[in-house]
């Protein structure tokens, strides 16, 4: 069975690399073409990419918080189960 965490991190890694390459390419194009209308277009494109990246990061942070809460709940349940059994295993 495939590890869902590995698939998630693979997707995140690929998306991050793609975003970084897109931003880098956009910056290079802006530096080569220093025409004012093109600069405005490039600035808008960079802003859009950064906003998308920030949204993606926020979504990932929320997912991490949910997973941490689940881990904490499971750890607490495990400790309670150990205590109720009366053995410190």
Token pair recorded at residue 73: 């709940």
54 with 81, same domain: the answer is yes
Highest mean pLDDT among 4-13, 20-29, 50-59, 70-79: 70-79
- Asked if residues 11 and 34 have their Cβ atoms less than 8 Å apart, the reply is no
On whether both 45 and 26 belong to a single domain, the answer is no
Give the residue numbers spanning the domain of 80.
Answer: 35-88
Average pLDDT of the segment spanning 82-87: 80
Rounded Cα gap, residues 42 and 29, in angstroms: 8
Q: What is the pLDDT of residue 8?
A: 73
First to last CA, the chain: 30
What is the C-alpha R_g of the chain? 22
pLDDT single digits (tens) 27-64: 887 777 666 676 677 788 888 888 988 999 989 999 99
The verdict on pTM exceeding 0.75 is no
Mark whether 40 and 23 lie in a shared domain: no
**pLDDT exceeds 60 at position 2:** no
The three-state secondary structure class of 76 is: helix
């Amino acid at each position: 069975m495939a590890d869902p965490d590995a698939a998630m991190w693979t997707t995140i890694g690929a998306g991050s690399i793609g975003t970084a390459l897109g931003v880098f390419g956009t910056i290079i194009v802006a530096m080569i073409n220093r025409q004012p209308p093109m600069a405005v277009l490039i600035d808008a494109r960079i802003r859009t990419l950064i906003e998308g990246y920030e949204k993606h990061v926020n979504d990932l942070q929320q997912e991490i918080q949910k997973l941490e809460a689940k881990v904490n709940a499971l750890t607490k349940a495990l400790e309670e189960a150990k205590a109720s059994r009366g053995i410190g295993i």
